[in-house]
């Protein structure tokens, strides 16, 4: 399904309403698209661009900066083996050789049954439990060949479905709070989309909540300095 389906289209519109500017919802909506299809299709990215008033090349140009986005189909499970120094010292290369043999693919390839895509990761930031592996960005530490085999068997059997959703799903919790635009009250920001989408000559194309949908207050992310030390520093910077 190259374009967003009706449910995910509504999710995209709800996300747009959380931001002061429509285009700020680009990355979250791309994750919705990848959750739907497992990767970012050209038609899907064009659809996202239409929703945000962006050219398809702007959408792809932004998405290509982030290695979490894929532009070709991948397996149900994206398996990444860390080979950075902490994991390397704990046998990551031996583990990677075992993983390649067990899955029958090299890094960058997908198994014939479409279940697993293998990646050689630079660093997964779980150095204290090296060597580590992620499956769809869920962490597994202290992995040796035997534990990896158990992990693969559990994934194939569906025993980890509650812990590891299919590729593309970052979280099962839907976001309901947004950012307030300058000068807007939280209720106004949530109800109007905070004046977003004015890059087309002033027309506001932000969606408004459907009838009966509760208005969710926006988050207040303003910075406050309260300690004596920071107050002194601020006063010093303000002196001529």
**Domain boundaries in the chain?**
1-71+173-240, 77-157
Q: What is the mean pLDDT of residues 196-210?
A: 43
How much is the pLDDT for 152? 97
Q: What is the mean pLDDT of residues 74-93?
A: 96
Q: Is residue 129 predicted with pLDDT exceeding 50?
A: yes
How much is the pLDDT for 180? 52
Q: Sorting pLDDT into bands at 50, 70 and 90, what band is 194?
A: very low
Q: Which residue, among 105, 89, 106, 92, has the nearest Cα to 144 in the 3D structure?
A: 92
From 26-40, 51-65, 71-85, 177-191, the region with the lowest mean pLDDT: 177-191
Q: What is the mean pLDDT of residues 175-193?
A: 50
- The CATH number given to 1-71+173-240 is 1.10.10.1590
Q: Which residue, among 78, 35, 50, has the nearest Cα to 175 in the 3D structure?
A: 35
From 58-62, 96-100, 222-226, the region with the lowest mean pLDDT: 222-226
**Residue whose structure tokens are 């030390």:** 229
Q: What is the mean pLDDT of residues 10-39?
A: 94
Q: Is residue 211 predicted with pLDDT exceeding 70?
A: no
From 16-30, 63-77, 125-139, 164-178, the region with the lowest mean pLDDT: 164-178
How much is the pLDDT for 191? 46
How much is the pLDDT for 168? 87
Q: Is residue 6 predicted with pLDDT exceeding 90?
A: yes
Q: What is the mean pLDDT of residues 31-49?
A: 95
Structure-block tokens of residue 5: 């389906």
Q: Sorting pLDDT into bands at 50, 70 and 90, what band is 171?
A: confident
How much is the pLDDT for 170? 81
CB 206 within 8 A of CB 17: yes
Structural element, H or E, at residue 77: strand 77-82
Q: Which CATH number fits domain 77-157: 3.20.20.150, 3.40.640.10, 3.40.50.2000, 3.40.30.10?
A: 3.40.30.10
How much is the pLDDT for 235? 55
Radius of gyration of the chain (CA): 22
**Residue whose structure tokens are 């204290």:** 128
CA distance 235 to 11: 45
Q: What is the mean pLDDT of residues 207-229?
A: 50
CA distance 154 to 133: 15
CB 61 within 8 A of CB 47: no
**Average pLDDT value over all residues in the chain:** 81
How much is the pLDDT for 222? 52
């Amino acid at each position: 399904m190259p374009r967003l389906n009706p449910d995910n289209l509504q999710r995209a519109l709800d996300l747009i309403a959380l931001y002061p500017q429509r285009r700020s919802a680009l990355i979250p909506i791309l994750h919705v698209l990848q959750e739907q299809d497992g990767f970012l299709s050209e038609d899907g990215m064009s659809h996202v661009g239409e929703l945000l008033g962006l050219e398809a090349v702007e959408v792809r140009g932004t998405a290509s900066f982030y290695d979490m986005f894929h532009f070709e189909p991948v397996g149900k499970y994206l398996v990444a083996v860390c080979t950075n120094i902490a994991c390397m010292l704990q046998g990551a290369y031996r583990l990677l050789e075992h993983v390649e043999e067990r899955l029958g693919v090299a890094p960058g390839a997908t198994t014939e049954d479409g279940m697993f895509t293998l990646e050689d990761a630079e660093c997964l930031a779980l150095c204290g439990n090296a060597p580590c592996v992620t499956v769809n960005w869920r962490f597994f530490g202290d992995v040796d060949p035997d534990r990896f085999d158990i992990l693969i068997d559990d994934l194939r059997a569906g025993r980890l479905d509650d812990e590891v959703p299919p590729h593309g799903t970052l979280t099962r919790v839907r976001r309901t709070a947004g950012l307030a635009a300058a000068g807007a009250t939280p209720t106004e920001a949530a109800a109007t989309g905070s004046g977003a989408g004015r890059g087309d000559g002033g027309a506001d194309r932000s969606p408004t909540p459907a009838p009966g949908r509760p208005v969710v207050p926006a988050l207040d992310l303003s910075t406050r300095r309260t300690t004596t030390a920071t107050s002194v520093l601020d006063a010093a910077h303000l002196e001529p």
